[in-house]
Amino acid sequence: MFRLKETLGLSDKGYGDFKRGVRSCVMSHLSLLLPFIVIIQSVIVLLDPLLNGGAFNAARLWTLFGAGLAAAAVYFFAYRGEYRKTFTAAYGEAEKIRLEVAEHMRRLPLSFFNDKDLSELTVNIMADCTSIEHVMSHVVPGLFGGAITVVITSAMLAFYDWRMALALFAPLPVSFGIIAAGRKFQAKFGERHVQAKLAVSGQVQEYLEGIKVVKAFGLSGEKSRALESSLRGMMWEAIKFEGIAGTFITAAMMILQVGIGLVVVAGVTLLAGETLGIIPFLIFILISARIYSPLIVMLTMLPEYFYMLASTRRMRELRRIPPMSGNESAILENCDIELENVSFAYNGNEDVIKNISLFIPRNSVTALVGPSGSGKTTVSRLIARFWDVREGEIRIGGRDIREIDPERLMSYMSFVFQDVVLFNDTVANNIRIGRSGASDAEVREAAIKARCDEFISALPEGYDTVIGENGSTLSGGERQRISIARALLKDAPVVLLDEATASLDPENETRIQEAISALVKGRTVIVIAHRLRTVTGADKIAVLEHGRLVEEGTGGELIKRGGLFAKLYGIQQESLGWTVKR
């Protein structure tokens, strides 16, 4: 059973609960035999006067009736214990696995998410964990319970009459051999079915995320065809898998049922040879009708277990991916940031950052500018250790950031992205993400500094207003200011601003610039901007092109130099006079 701990990805406690659940399941199966034994004894009492001419023993029959009630009570409490120890423990362990997987993914580098589709990760957390939960609660305990019960029953029957027991269980190895022979086919078609489900999940997610574009451009038919195709593909894979599994299960069950005939033939033969009594013969006939029930359940459970292995394999692969590590108690003496000969490539492809060396002094504003695709955002993400560099070093306060635990490093940084992510929660809780445990007064103070207290106070329930999924009830400028309030509340010494004022109207841009001014005071600030006029007053401007650092200096110095910055700045100044003409 130790392999099951690894196969199902169980914790020590979960594995202990699982073993207790198996034991409870065995007790439940065995207790279910007690009423059956009472029935057999009752039949013997009723038939004894007819076969042996003895007196009818009414007192013994009443005793057996009481024993039957006691056996029913034993089964009730055994099944109750099985449910509590098997099902409840399985659901609790599945919850724990989901949380552990989510926490593990949170600590993985962003390169992992570049390789994985979001829908696949959703399937990992939900569908795969549900498969494990179902197998832990319904399949494996039943398999072990049924197997152990059959072994115990076989030993008892063999002690009673080994010839009839052999006839009863002779088809069993053949039946399980058929299931084992079909495992390869079931695994193949099961994996194809799993992949088809992943494809459907991806298509559904893409369809829902792009529904605005689909409706705006009348693509409903075209996009629906792609979704329909994936759904139809999943349907046919499900039919194939069920057909293959059903074929082997049906064949195994047919072979197993032959045992009833063998019991009858063996019993009649032994009766004819006067080596078996009529009552033992009837007992085996009754037992054969009962003993095959758990065996049939076991045969139907095995393909389900094989199918589950595909889910657990993906889950194990996910949990084996090493998270980013580092010193969790590292302390940065200062926030000087230095990039030395840094190169980086996504997923082993061509370098997008090429041998960059750059010094960003503490308590200063440094702007990263350049054409689209020049590597500005990538550099900022490398400083935050969203990825690790391929070559060179990034140091903060003289320490290589690869030696610092990512969460510890994050405690020194605040972020304001162009694409703000808000949660379907209250305004106050969305701001409080910056520092959990912050008081209402601290949240309000951050909102005032971020210039968003005015519009929050105008909401129906003020700071307790639920703002919908991703802040759907707020404007772009309002959402951006809430993200700045988060950063202010966090009060980190390093601030990264990525296109924080892009795509905003002049009024919102002015308010957000005021909020940013409050945010950057006394901090090390890295700004990414396409509007070069907004960063000409920065302490330092680093100009990137094709992943290389081509210029650095103040705005005035770079304009005088007449290089790439001056060229881009001139183009933007000319575009200010552009108007729409008929």
Sheet holding 391-396, edge to edge: 351-360, 337-345, 391-396, 399-400
**Domains of the chain with CATH codes:** 2-320 (1.20.1560.10), 337-575 (3.40.50.300)
Query: pLDDT for 100-148, tens place per residue?
Result: 888 888 788 766 776 666 667 777 777 777 777 777 777 777 777 777 7
Query: CB of 132 within 8 A of CB of 94?
Result: yes
Cα angle 339, 530, 417 (rounded to 5 degrees) comes to 70
Token code pair at residue 226: 């792609």
Distance between CA atoms of residues 486 and 416, nearest Å? 9
Bridge partners (DSSP) listed for residue 358: 339
User: Helices 476-490 & 440-449, crossing angle to 10 degrees?
Assistant: 120
Q: Give 512's pLDDT tier (boundaries 50, 70, 90).
A: low
Query: pLDDT for 415-441, tens place per residue?
Result: 887 777 888 888 899 889 888 888 889
Query: pLDDT for 387-413, tens place per residue?
Result: 888 899 999 988 999 888 888 888 888
Residues 6+ apart with CB under 8 A from 421: 470
The alpha carbon torsion through 505, 509, 512, 514 (nearest 10 deg) reads: -140
Q: Give 188's pLDDT tier (boundaries 50, 70, 90).
A: confident
How far, in Å, are 327, 358, 493 from residue 401 at the CA level? 10, 15, 15
Q: Give 56's pLDDT tier (boundaries 50, 70, 90).
A: low
pLDDT over 70 at 155, yes or no = yes
pLDDT over 70 at 8, yes or no = no
Query: pLDDT for 515-560, tens place per residue?
Result: 777 777 778 888 887 777 777 788 888 999 988 999 988 888 888 8
Comparing CA positions, the residue from 554, 419, 422 lying closest to residue 498 is 419
Q: Give 340's pLDDT tier (boundaries 50, 70, 90).
A: very high
Q: What is the pLDDT of residue 103?
A: 81
**Which carries the bigger pLDDT value, residue 420 or residue 27?**
420
Distance between CA atoms of residues 248 and 257, nearest Å? 14
Q: Give 91's pLDDT tier (boundaries 50, 70, 90).
A: confident
Sheet holding 413-417, edge to edge: 413-417, 494-498, 524-528, 365-369, 540-545, 548-553
Q: What is the pTM of this model?
A: 0.67
Query: Within 13 Å of residue 327, how many CA atoms lie on the same side as its CB?
Result: 10
**Which carries the bigger pLDDT value, residue 364 or residue 348?**
364
3-state secondary structure of 345: strand
The DSSP secondary structure of 26-92, one letter per residue, reads HHHHHHHHHHHHHHHHHHHHHHHHHHH-----HHHHHHHHHHHHHHHHHHHHHHHHHIIIIIIHHHH
User: Helices 171-181 & 278-320, crossing angle to 10 degrees?
Assistant: 20
Distance between CA atoms of residues 187 and 98, nearest Å? 24
How far, in Å, are 47, 331, 337, 385 from residue 400 at the CA level? 88, 12, 10, 11
Average per-residue pLDDT for the chain: 78
